[in-house]
Copies of this chain bind each other. A is one copy, B any other.
């Protein structure tokens, strides 16, 4: 029952446009990105962006929501592999590094850690979205650690999530991949090495 809508159909994929807008926001932050730049990045003119997503802030919030949902799914999926504790922690951290090291020119970290947190101080809604993202990370990682036999999954989960945050900041500061991997190994050893 593919309800054939009446008017002219969209000539773009909204999710793909949102992805491109996300990339722009990730690099330049919310305040540092203009609608013209978003228009250029997505290939859509400003009125089309407005029609599809609302104003600039709504588009930004949509980008945050999309990323949160993706991270959530990714972590849940990781749990399906039933890996030992050490491997779980390693996968989480290396997965983060892979994300943070991508970017059109240079490593650009995480949209939420490195730009939404900036905006959060002056925008209550963004602050809530950031809090929700952090809660997803803490909760999902704790679940993963619990399933892998950790004896203190909440505490260790918070620490692993914290290391992720730092990896994003360090990537943004220009740290080479080896340095990030070193931090990740330190964390893996500390969590999975000592007294499980």
- Residues of A at the B interface (CB closer than 8 Å) are 26-32, 103, 106, 108-109, 113-115, 117-122, 127-128, 130-131, 133-134, 155-156, 158-159, 161-163, 165-167, 169-170, 172-175, 182-183, 186-187, 189-191, 194-195
CB distance from A56 to the nearest CB of B (A): 13
* Chain B positions within 8 Å of A127 at CB level: 172-174
Listed by A's residue number, 19 A-B pairs whose Cβ atoms lie within 8 Å are A29-B31, A29-B119, A108-B121, A114-B121, A117-B169, A117-B172, A120-B173, A134-B169, A155-B190, A156-B190, A158-B186, A162-B163, A162-B166, A162-B187, A163-B166, A165-B165, A169-B169, A194-B194, A194-B195
> What is the bound-complex CA distance between A108 and B155, given in angstroms?
24
Main secondary structure of the interface of A (DSSP, over half): helix
> What is the bound-complex CA distance between A159 and B151, given in angstroms?
20
Once A134-B169, A174-B128, A187-B159 are accepted as A-B contacts, the answer to whether A117 and B109 lie under 8 Å apart by CB is yes
> What is the bound-complex CA distance between A128 and B155, given in angstroms?
33
CB distance from A15 to the nearest CB of B (A): 23
